[in-house]
Amino acid sequence: MADTREAIVHASHLPMSVIIVGVGNADFTDMQILDGDDGILRSPKGEPVLRDIVQFVPFKDFKHVSASLLTTGTDVLDAYDTKFSNV
């Protein structure tokens, strides 16, 4: 987890985004931490991300969504559209 946090902090300086899809009934607490919605993600050394590049989505939240809604866009992609339009 420490290596992943370090990599995300470094990647936050690059023109990229990370979408993590949690499939199954596992404990996704670590993925929610990487998402950074509950606070600023920091490397193990304390360096904060430059910008929020990670979005975690539990598949179970979307598994009953109709195919027509998925093909026209999801909340995840809409969130990234907003980020790109502000660049």
Which tens digit of pLDDT belongs to each residue from 62-86? 777 766 655 545 555 665 555 555 4
- The per-residue pLDDT for 13 is 96
**Tally of domains within the chain:** 1
**pLDDT tens digits, 33-72:** 999 888 899 999 999 999 999 999 888 887 777 666 555 4
Integer-rounded Cα Rg, in Å, for the chain is 14
Locus of tokens 């050394």? 45
Containing domain of residue 49, as a range? Answer: 1-85
* Length of the chain, in residues: 87
**Could you tell me the pTM of the whole model?**
0.70
Q: Which residues contact 19 (CB under 8 A, 6 or more apart)?
A: 54, 55, 57, 76, 80
- The per-residue pLDDT for 38 is 85
